[in-house]
Structure 1
Amino acid sequence: MNPIKRIALKALSYSRKNLKKYYKIKRKLQNVANIFFRKRYKLMDHKIMTGDREIPVRIFSPKRKTNSGVLVFFHGGGWVTGNIDFYTHVCANMSNQTGNTVISVDYLLAPEHPFPEGLEDCYNVAREIFQNLDLLKYKASDITLIGDSAGGNLAAAVSLMARDKGEFMPGKQILIYPSTYNDHTENSPFPSIRENGKDFLLTSRQIQDYMDLYAPKAEDRFSPYLAPLLAKDLSNQPDTLIITAEYDPLRDEGEAYGLRLKEFGNKVKMHRMKDAVHGFFSLPWKSEYVIRSYEIINWFLSSSNARSEELL
């Protein structure tokens, strides 16, 4: 990594406030940015009714629809921050770069709504989409789950829950630098927690804080729906693309999840983004990391079952 870039990242990492104390301020700062994003894009807001709860979603159509697919997107933010407004620029670009419709889910956030409430929102929206194919005029094979960071965790958990409940089953999932494990202290079995846990924007301390806010009950930390890597059975999962970042504390657990999926007979493609840090997927669309990500994502989305043996 460029030495100047590394010094800047270290300074930014050091200056970050205590997450547990300031997460509400972080939300407010994100909402200021939302005013700008909402004015730039044409979008359609909708609510999906599940039981007695209305879950907001935002639907993005590409400027040029070149594919028939639907990407159901779960945003990042450690299950605590982030929302469909803050991720509007990401989802608009995702739709335009892939030529697919994107449905972004505004799930409930912790700590006001701890595990598994946000996950249940994500699962319920995915189920409604799969069970109303005629209304949406799509096929089940057209639908892919996708998420970044905590959203990648949620996408993986929704796929596991879908298999266990038998109500629907995604054919593909895309996990971008996902959280898949429950321990991000020095006791973690993954070297990237120690190697990248202090000076590369997202710190291991912040990840622990997010986890404390999301899952305050110790017993929940061992649920495979919170830490998919702990699942005893990872069979019958979607074809999976995992993109990690070289200088991300979550790098190794994301890649370990890919290897375990493969051990259970699933088709998996993994790519480690060289020189990148956690969060690069939200950079402006002309960023080299974002451009490369969509090259990989579009290859993955275009891979038919007949070509699935090409997946690593």
Structure 2
Amino acid sequence: MAINKAMKLAMKALSYSNQDLEHYRKLMNIKTIDPFKKFYDTSDKKIYNGDYLVPVRIYRTKKHKRVEDIPVILFLHGGGWVSESVETYNRICKNLADKTNHVVVSVDYRLAPEYKFPTALEDCYAVAKAIFLNNDLNIKPENITLVGDSAGGNLAAALSLLARDRGEFMPKRQILIYPCVNSDFSDETPYRSVIENGMDYLLTRKNMIDYVDMYKSCDEDLQSPYFSPILTKDFSNQPKTLIITAEFDPLRDEGEAYGKKLSEAGNEVEIHRISDALHGFFALSTRYFHVKQLYKYMNEFLK
């Protein structure tokens, strides 16, 4: 179903070009209010990144009481690198575990601007390394799929590149949900969707410029493939990849272009665009058609 005129007007009203970070974080933190949270089958642990203990939350389905020998999703949340957390993604990760029949391991990486690039990526890498190299969770590497949405999709793509380059472990599969893989949201952007969808569809081009500015530690970061994965000169030896994009998303074209570059380098890639969907639709109820489509593609890929 196409977006009607009334819905377009409502989205335009909600698409703020300027945002106060403290206010935005408080708004996002409303999602921590979940009356069903106490019924979720979860456990918390911490994994070292140097001297810092990265919080991790593990979600199990009713069928899963043990992590060993069970397929696992290592999940990296979105939020522009500056907001959201394991707490705000509780319901999303619970749904992800239930709908995919996977154990979900969610990483509470540190946020910008307090902790700038590459802190979030290194937190995620440390957790991935611990899990892939069989820490006390005893997870088999071939059973792990790396998943991230939006900024989490950026971190997942960057983590796969970093893992290949460091040679310590390597994900077999990754799912990137409307990922941010580019750092240029100026008028000179090569991606048409940034201009076409960058004003009135909730996530704005100005939002993305602000997020990038808060995440970077210096201008040189913008040219790093671990900051902007689409800028890497070597797309080879990457995981089997599923990329999901949304039609009315400023990040749509860069996500699809990233998938094309991976495919041209010889990687196995699927790309699916969800018609009429907006950036962030993954957070909606699993009853929504767009979310059902997403899980259909994910489950077919995970088989």
TM norm structure 1: 0.92
Distance 1:56 1:107 in 2: 7
**1:40 shift after superposition:** 4.9
Which position in structure 1 is the counterpart of 2:25?
27
Which position in structure 2 is the counterpart of 1:198?
199
Write out per-residue CA displacement over residues 178-205 of structure 1, whole angstroms, 9 at most, x where no aligned residue: 0011101111001001110001000001
**1:65 shift after superposition:** 4.2
Distance 2:248 2:155 in 1: 22
- How many percent identity over aligned positions? 52
Q: State the SS of the aligned residue for 2:207.
A: helix
Which position in structure 2 is the counterpart of 1:166?
167
Write out per-residue CA displacement over residues 38-67 of structure 1, whole angstroms, 9 at most, x where no aligned residue: 445232111112321100011000123499
1:264 and 2:274 correspond: no
Does the aligned pair in 2 maintain the 1:64–1:96 contact within 8 Å?
Answer: no
**1:17 shift after superposition:** 6.1
Does the aligned pair in 2 maintain the 1:192–1:248 contact within 8 Å?
Answer: yes
Does the aligned pair in 2 maintain the 1:97–1:294 contact within 8 Å?
Answer: yes
Distance 2:50 2:250 in 1: 38
Distance 1:282 1:186 in 2: 29
Distance 2:190 2:30 in 1: 39
Q: State the SS of the aligned residue for 2:63.
A: coil
1:70 and 2:72 correspond: yes
User: Matches of residues 117-136 of structure 1 in structure 2 within 5 Å?
Assistant: 117-132=119-134, 135-136=136-137
Please identify which structure carries the higher helix content. 1
**1:128 shift after superposition:** 0.4
Distance 1:259 1:180 in 2: 13
**1:118 shift after superposition:** 0.6
Q: Which amino acid aligns with 2:29?
A: N
User: Matches of residues 82-231 of structure 1 in structure 2 within 5 Å?
Assistant: 82-132=84-134, 135-231=136-232
Q: Which runs of 5+ in 1 are unaligned?
A: 303-312
RMSD after superposition:
1.5
Q: Aligned pairs, how many?
A: 297
Q: Which runs of 5+ in 2 are unaligned?
A: none
Distance 1:23 1:63 in 2: 37
Which position in structure 2 is the counterpart of 1:306?
none
Distance 1:143 1:124 in 2: 15
1:53 and 2:55 correspond: no
Distance 2:198 2:210 in 1: 13
Distance 2:127 2:140 in 1: 16
**1:18 shift after superposition:** 2.1
Q: Which moved more, 1:169-178 or 1:39-48?
A: 39-48
Does the aligned pair in 2 maintain the 1:48–1:57 contact within 8 Å?
Answer: yes
User: Matches of residues 289-304 of structure 1 in structure 2 within 5 Å?
Assistant: 289-302=290-303
